[in-house]
Structure 1
Amino acid sequence: MSDREKIQKTLQKALEINLDICKYGTIVEIGAGQEVARNFFQAGGAAGTIAKTMSAYDMQVSDDIYGAEETKRYVSRSRLMKMLDREYTAVTDLLTPTRPRNTTFFSYAATVTAKSYLQKNECHGWLGIRVQLYPGAAPSDIIVHVRMLDNDGGAQQEALGVVGVNLIHAAFHHFTQPKKIIEALVDDLEPCRIEVDLINFSGPYFEETENRLMNLHLVHKNLTHAIMFSPEGEVQVPSELLYKKNILVIRGTYTPLTKLHLDMKKCGEEHFKEVDNIDTSKILVLAEITMASLTVGDVIDDADFLARVDMLNTQGYTVMISNYLRYFRLRQYFRRYTNQQLGMILGISNLDLIFTEDYYIGLEGGILEAFAKLFPDNTRLYIYPIKSPEQEELITIDNFKPPKKLQHLFEYCKENGYLVGLENVDESMLHINPSQVLSEIQKGRGKWEDQVPESISKMIISKRLLGYSAR
């Protein structure tokens, strides 16, 4: 589809809204022009849909309208909510008595920071719509956080204009199918232009919508590479959680979280805190799950996903879901937001994978390119030992044997501190095999209960998680 055809499709959506005399509302945009409003006016017939458009660029003007921000962060969720609160209340209070009874009111708002000539800033924004989904109903909200990936401000404004039209159109036409709303957000945009890394549905029509699943759908449909949940289970914007943090990440499937995982975290955190000049008050420990471990074919087991997140949250973990299979891609993602220390905890069996050349097929520079991208600065892999099942021998970084032709590369990484062997491990945990634990869970109660935290075993049994059988 040509650029012109894409523009016409966006304008057609705007026109469809304009020609529906029941839909009426306001559009307010701060930070990157008024592209959403422009699309509605350019489509024609906007007088039938738009009661008001506005931009309040000056901070004092914005504060006068929406109230001051204590944090002085004007591109924030709280600012967006103040905009929606004021604009929706204003239009409904003023016009409900005079508009036809079949009117469904809406307010669209956006506060963004686009590419600037004066500074190198994170180009992102908060967009949202508050909308009546039938006449006289209490309103529902759809809130979105986006990153703009174009290299110039004009292109970013154009992309935001398309996303805004898509959001308004989808809110009215697909409100019974939230996943369809998500997929519609980037209609008529190349994948490299907009990343959507948070979405939140609330209100009467979305009371049964599980926002964690909706955000997982963002990764599943490649609208973003990663999503994050706080220990309380709330969806978080990755940039806000990761900004200038020292990050320690443990990758796993967590089916379920075992006492072995807890010991890996404890040992890894002890070593991480010993890094020179590290600010221990700014350490963020993440439990990361890859999408590949959540899907069978192209299908996600929703209950399995929610169970894993719930179990990790009960142990105080911040949870990350990503579509990064290779470790250097994960490191590149973190480097968007922080130049502080990075640590990744992994079992020695994963080290075997990292030193397998076939793992890097398709990468032009092969394993050398991957290592150059994994270890350029402040990045370490913390290696947790295992016991050989045959000889009961402890396999550590000191007796690990990479392929012979990669021996020198292994020694180089080890001698320069890129690979760090974990010590002070609890050897009584080394017999725990998470795959075997899962198999035992599916047979009912048993010895597996001693291999997971007590609160986790109770959760699995009471909620019959992970295929638990009560026979």
Structure 2
Amino acid sequence: MPQIKQYLTPKQKALVVNLDPNIYGTFAEIGAGQETVRHFFRAGGASGTIAKAMSAYDKDYSDAIYGKEDRNRYVTQNRLRKMLHYEVKLIEERLTKPENSNKKFFSFANTVTTINYEKTFKGHGWVGIMFQAKPGEEYSEIVLHVKFNENDATLQQETLGSLGVNLVYGAFYLNDNPRRLIKSLYDEISIDKVEIDMIDFRGPAFEYVDNRLMSLQLIKNGMTDAVIFNSEGDNMLPADLLYKKDVFAVRGSFRPVTLVNVDMFENGLEMFLKDTGGKPEDTVILFEITIANLKASGDIDERDFLDRVDVLAKLGYTVMISIFSEYYRLVEYFTSYKVRYIGVAMGVNNLVMVFDEDYYKNLSGGILEAFGKFFRKDMRVYLYPYKDPQTHELLSSENLIISENLKELFKYFKLNKRIVDIKNYNPDHAEIYSREILNKIANQENGWENQLPEGVAEMIKERGMFGYKEDIEFEEY
């Protein structure tokens, strides 16, 4: 039997919006034509929906309306928000009258650059909407960033138009279910045509929305490879954060963050800054969790996810969630943003996995191809020692057992300082194991508190994180 679509087409969505007598607003589109509003004009009944449609394509004219931008950058989040707020202000000034008291006003905008003639740059853009979920209510906002994957400007414009319609429809009809709203953005759009790597919800319609969870939806739905948010929980555009910077990454499960994680990070970062001669302000520090790690016990537990990132946020760290199970893919991702130097801090166990050939069966060039992508001349592994809980032997790159056919490669990477040991580690942390701590937390055992950074144990107890349940004593009557 043919598969039945469970969603409306962009044309159908545009018509639904047009036929709603209470939805009324403006469209402002820069850089890729008026692709979204075109759908509403063609659907019919647009006169009751569209107050104005414009494309301030010329920079001078655009500047005259929305103001100039620093460094003449027009495809930015700041430009998009200026457009949205300016257009909403005009609506309020011109249409706030008793006869419009039942209207739900909106302003849709995008600022986009499509693929260049040489096809060396595929294009990207910002798309957003400010809208009233109820008449007279304060405005809510949805802003997202897209990266185009198609190799033709016309196709990219068509994709942008469909995406815009999906966003307008979703804002009004799916705002009570942001997860479904996010999925609906790809209605009638193939997942490989465009990437959404940042989304932000604000306003009364999304009062209880956690944008970190919305970032997680982008990963879960295959809409992007990685998302980043800071310690305040704000979603960040990877390109803005990473472009031409030095990057120092620490991968882990962080269930919970232990003194070992902090010791690895602090000492590894100190070595990285000395090696690169970089300044701390030019270095991006990321605590990375893979989606595979989040799924380790089955489906992603969103409470567990928030527990991890809340603790990292308390310590002031920026978090990255990625699909990159293999380290070489992580390094490839960083290099796509033209970063200068890359430092990766890892424990001995993780390095053993890096040298496991079974992980690279999907590559035609096998482990050699992976090593060529991972051990770049501008990348360095900072290796934290591991104390075997059975033998109590301390393992480092000096005594690590590598398979015979990879020993010479291992020596080569050490000789060329692609792998360096963290020497200045704290030996008192050598027997801290996160799994043991997690078991103690869940089983209400003592002795785990002093193995975590200051303030973390109190946070776990106060909020009942990682399965912690405070014992309740009942009085006898």
- TM-score of the aligned structures, taking structure 1 as reference length: 0.94
What do the CA deviations read for 1:367-406 (whole angstroms, capped 9, x no partner)? 1111112123311222111123333222110111111222
1:278 and 1:341 in contact (8 A); partners too: no
Stretch moving more, 282-291 or 72-81: 72-81
SS in 2 for 1:466: helix
Pairwise mapping of residues 12-161 of structure 1 onto structure 2 (< 5 A)?
Answer: 12-70=12-70, 72-97=72-97, 101-117=101-117, 121=121, 123-161=123-161
**What residue number does 2:197 align with?**
197
Note closer, same or farther for the CA distance 1:114–1:99 as it changes in structure 2 (3 Å cut).
farther
Give the drift of 1:437.
0.8
Cα separation, 2, equivalents of 1:276 and 1:110? 39
Pairwise mapping of residues 238-387 of structure 1 onto structure 2 (< 5 A)?
Answer: 238-295=238-295, 299-387=299-387
Cα separation, 2, equivalents of 1:411 and 1:330? 23
What do the CA deviations read for 1:172-223 (whole angstroms, capped 9, x no partner)? 1111101111001121112222111111112222111111111111111111
Stretch moving more, 155-164 or 375-384: 375-384
SS in 1 for 2:466: coil
Note closer, same or farther for the CA distance 1:164–1:321 as it changes in structure 2 (3 Å cut).
same
Give the drift of 1:16.
2.1
Give the drift of 1:68.
2.8
Cα separation, 2, equivalents of 1:347 and 1:245? 24
2:242 and 2:339 in contact (8 A); partners too: no
Cα separation, 1, equivalents of 2:100 and 2:236? 40
What do the CA deviations read for 1:3-54 (whole angstroms, capped 9, x no partner)? xx9xx92222212222223222111001111110122222233223211111
Amino acid at match of 2:46: A
**What residue number does 2:474 align with?**
none
Give the drift of 1:70.
4.1
SS in 2 for 1:275: helix
Number of equivalences: 468
1:440 and 1:448 in contact (8 A); partners too: yes
**What residue number does 2:209 align with?**
209
Give the drift of 1:122.
6.9
2:377 and 2:418 in contact (8 A); partners too: no
SS in 2 for 1:397: coil
1:445 and 1:470 in contact (8 A); partners too: no
Cα separation, 2, equivalents of 1:106 and 1:357? 55
Give the drift of 1:296.
5.7
Amino acid at match of 1:404: E
Identity among equivalent positions (%) equals 43
SS in 1 for 2:138: coil
Note closer, same or farther for the CA distance 1:442–1:72 as it changes in structure 2 (3 Å cut).
same
Give the drift of 1:303.
1.9
Cα separation, 1, equivalents of 2:232 and 2:131? 28
Cα separation, 2, equivalents of 1:100 and 1:228? 41
Note closer, same or farther for the CA distance 1:61–1:273 as it changes in structure 2 (3 Å cut).
same
Cα separation, 2, equivalents of 1:297 and 1:270? 34
SS in 1 for 2:39: helix
Consecutive unaligned residues in structure 1, runs of 5 or more: none
1:381 and 1:419 in contact (8 A); partners too: yes
Consecutive unaligned residues in structure 2, runs of 5 or more: 472-477
Cα separation, 1, equivalents of 2:273 and 2:142? 40
Cα separation, 2, equivalents of 1:304 and 1:167? 30
Give the drift of 1:154.
2.1
- TM-score of the aligned structures, taking structure 2 as reference length: 0.92
2:211 and 2:233 in contact (8 A); partners too: no
Give the drift of 1:445.
5.8
Stretch moving more, 72-81 or 210-219: 72-81
2:104 and 2:131 in contact (8 A); partners too: yes
Amino acid at match of 1:420: V
